[in-house]
Structure 1
Amino acid sequence: MKVLVIGGGAREHALCRALSLDPDVRELHCAPGNAGIAAVARLHAVDVLDGEAVAALAAGVGADLVVVGPEAPLFAGVADAVRARGIDCFGPGAEAARLEGSKAFAKDVMAEADVPTARAYVCTTPEQADAALDAFGPPYVVKDDGLAAGKGVVVTGDLAAARAHARACTAAGQVVIEEFLDGPEVSLFAVTDGESVVPLSPAQDFKRAYDGDAGPNTGGMGAYTPLPWADPKLVDEVVETVLQPTVDEMRRRGTPFSGLLYAGLALTSRGVRVVEFNARFGDPETQAVLARLRTPLAGLLRAAAQGRLAAFPPLVWSDDAAVTVVLAARDYPAKPRTGDVITGLAEAEAVSGDAYVLHAGTKLDDSGQVLSAGGRVLCVTAVGADLTAARDRAYEAIRRIGLDGAHYRGDIAARAAEAAAD
């Protein structure tokens, strides 16, 4: 089949890499892509928020399947426009994408489906937000209701900072104030066709900018999978209590969710609770999860797009562990510097056949040099027999990459690797 991937980050590079290894994919396209994706797919310049433009591109290249990576195009209705052309599309329509596009909407769906989640208030004025903050007390959890590229959540013990973020949110719309959920967080992806749910391998990501979970929230600084410390029954429990009820409720509402449903979970002292839903593959967890998937990706995504998941064979996974470490630009996540030359990419991939570079915010200059073009510039994903081996390969590779002022966390999967080794 011919496949068109929409997006230009490391998540899309991971998707394109996996699709390029699928023997059923004979032609791969990406819009807009990046410097790394250009090595495995033909790139196209298009406004990814313009559904008609994306649909026209898909028709023009003869795509049999369109895979929408980022959340903004989904919320803009790109998947609807592609399907209106009679082309299979992996990704929810605009109404279903509200599970990510509006945290208030997601809370309403969870309430109707009896999905366990944090208690919350939806506030439209600063006064309502202040009352909600007082009701819950610290640590304060303040969430922008809309899309915020993974950086719309503030968790703080500082009441002034919580109020400031709440005011910024209510100035633009509404804000969700939640109770704080204790316990480790887990990301669980599920492929769904609107009826059946096929879970992927659970992962854990690292949101804070610096080691020891210090610094501001980011879009994610690294991830790993599997989770050796997690209950083996966790995935089945989440499918039964969270994912399937949510999919069933969306279908009941007449807005079936077809695509990738991402449940961000907190494993609290009171049990599993949903922190948030996303309507697409998460970044950087996708990079680690797809590194272990042995089932060809295109067939899985097309089965979801065509409503055939119930008959799809069980997924096959590698026994290896996978670790992803993100390299971020100077001053990320505040005002990252761009336009700097990146060196050592070939040297990084020469470390091992089990470590490779995935580009996020990169571009090529006129001379063919790779330049930084975003906050999260690239990441290294490595696999190994266990988390320790995967970590060693990832960090050996990323140390060979040169980018002035860049930073990365040195503790991705460290605690889990140590615990698994004991």
Structure 2
Amino acid sequence: MNVLVVGRGGREHSMVQKLAESKTVNEIYVAPGNAGMDEATRVPIDESEIERLIDFAKEKQIDMTIVGPENPLMLGISNRFREENLPIFAPTKEAALIEGSKDFAKAFMTRQGIPTASYQTFTDVEEAKYYVRTKGAPIVIKADGLAAGKGVVVAETERDALQAIDEMLVSKCYADAGTTIVIEEFLEGREFSLMAFVHGSNVYPMIPARDHKRAFDNDEGPNTGGMGAYAPVPDISEDIITNTTKEVLQKAADGLVSEGRSFTGILYAGLMMTTSGPKVIEFNARFGDPETQVILPLLNKDFLQVIVDVCHGKDPELQWEDKKCLGVVVAAQGYPATYEKNIPIPNLDCEETFAAYAGVDQIDNRLVSNGGRVMLVGAKATTYHQAFDAVYNQLNNIGDSSKLFYRSDIGKNCKEDALV
């Protein structure tokens, strides 16, 4: 089969790497991809150029298109491909609204009885501020629309919350994505991510992962798109996974079908394990980043065959390696705010680790940065301890990286191994 992956980041590179292992794949194309994706043929078409992607899929007789990022989903890439009878593994824009609008997602969860934090939606500045003063802090302020994983402020103080409201509704720091905001209850507990392959009411959960959103060690600093992750998660038991699948993922899939928004693709639940059980922080309508980079390496099945089976209503019988996978994001100094580009990327030469490239370009046959999150360095091992050591030994030996940074504590608190 000829496969087209739409996207350019670390998540898409991980998908390409897994597809390259598939015995059923003939040719892998990635649009637009990045300079680190040696396993695929790069196509100079932007993710948002849907008509050009359709023309390319017809020209190259693409048997399956897999969409990575969220923006083309909301632009209706799946709708248009289906209109042209082109196979695609991605939800329609109607189904993807579960990610595209926080307000829709919260109201949907309320209708479907899916556990989540209490909330209110606002477009008026003074009404939003009054609500914050009534509820107090900590409290969470979210831009309603897509903001590249950065439209969430966990306000520790009332002052921080009021400032976030001004930045979103007055200063328009997220443009149209923040013209409506959702203010919700702060949930306490440990976060985890649970993704599933979904087709209609068929839900096939993956292993859980834990992402680290804050920029700096000890979960300090601003929220980012993700600074590292590990899978599976030792404190998330099989019983929790079974319950979360039933009460969250299955209810969401069934609810979308019942509301005329049947979902095909990857449904992602970002969850908080509270004292009263798991509650949904957010839904995504695609693979998470960086969780994908530590989950797909552990998949012990042909990735493309899994997708084909799911699309045909067949149980893919997911199997996972009995190993641990840990990955650390290397970012440009200044991320998630202003950062420098064209930083030379250090060479990685350790056989125990792998790299999933994200924000990279090529100048004079040398990889350089062109994004905030540059790459993820990961490792698979028998224990978390071994994976942790392999990744950080590699990172500690990449030479002068004064213009790059990474967290030093990803996976450090896994209960299974004393990594401190």
Give the TM bin, normalised by the shorter chain: over 0.9
> Which range is displaced more, 412-421 or 258-267?
412-421
1:89-147 Cα distance to aligned partner (Å, 9 max, x none): 11111111110010000011111110000000011101221122123211020000000
CA distances 1:383-416 after superposition (whole Å, capped 9, x unpaired): 0001001111111222233544110001000110
Question: CA offsets per residue over residues 146-195 of structure 1, 9 Å max, x none?
Answer: 00111100002232221222233334421000000000001000110112
For 1:185-200, what aligned pairs fall within 5 Å after superposition?
185-200=191-206
Partner of 2:122: 123
1:416 paired residue number: 414
Q: 1:421 to 1:410 in 2, by over 3 A?
A: closer
**For structure 2, which runs of at least 5 residues remain unmatched after alignment?**
171-175
Which runs of 5 or more residues in structure 1 are unaligned?
A: none
| Residues 51-60 or 196-205, more deviating | 51-60
State the AA in 2 paired with 1:409. R
Distance, in Å, in 2 between the alignment partners of 1:165 and 1:307 is 45
Q: Say which is worse superposed, 160-169 or 133-142, in terms of deviation.
A: 160-169
Q: How many angstroms apart in 1 are the aligned matches of 2:70 and 2:395?
A: 28
Does the alignment pair 1:328 with 2:331? yes
Deviation at 1:344, TM superposition (A): 1.9
Is contact 2:412–2:419 with CA below 8 Å preserved after alignment? no
The residue type equivalent to 1:335 in the other structure is: T
Alignment of 1:214 with 2:228, yes or no, is no
2:12: which partner in 1?
A: 12
Task: Deviation per CA, 1:56-112: give whole Å up to 9, x if none.
Answer: 121122110000000111111112112222111111111111100100000111111
Measured in 2, the distance between the counterparts of 1:419 and 1:124 equals 47
- Tell whether 2:387 aligns with 1:381: no
1:396 and 2:396 correspond: no
Identity of aligned residues (%): 39
TM-score where L is the length of structure 2: 0.95
Number of aligned residue pairs: 412
**Aligned-partner Cα distance in 1 for 2:168–2:82:** 33
Q: Report the equivalent of 2:61.
A: 62
After TM superposition, the structure 1 stretch with the greater mean CA deviation from structure 2, 15-24 or 132-141, is: 132-141
Q: Is the 8 A contact 1:323 1:391 kept in 2?
A: yes
Secondary structure of residue in 1 paired with 2:404? coil
Code of the aligned partner of 1:174:
T
Shift in CA distance, 421/229, structure 1 to aligned 2, threshold 3 Å: farther
2: distance between equivalents of 1:419 and 1:384? 13
Amino acid paired to 1:25 = V
- Displacement over 3 Å in runs of 4+: 417-422
Cα distance between partner residues in 2 of 1:221 and 1:279: 20
Structure 1's 398 and 297: CA in aligned 2 closer, same or farther, altered over 3 A? same
How high is the TM-score relative to the length of structure 1? Answer: 0.95
1:313 Cα offset (Å): 3.8
**CA shift for structure 1 position 298:** 0.5
Q: Distance in 1 between matches of 2:95 and 2:416?
A: 40
| 1:61-100 mapped onto 2 (5 Å cutoff) | 61-100=60-99
Give me the CA root mean square deviation. Answer: 1.5
Distance between the aligned counterparts of 1:235 and 1:44, measured in 2? 38
Q: Of residues 348, 369, 372 in structure 2, which corresponds to 1:372?
A: 369
Q: Which amino acid aligns with 1:22?
A: S
Deviation, 1:257, is: 1.1
User: Aligned pair in 2 of structure 1 residues 313, 191: CA closer, same or farther (>3 Å)?
Assistant: closer
What corresponds to 1:147 in structure 2? 146
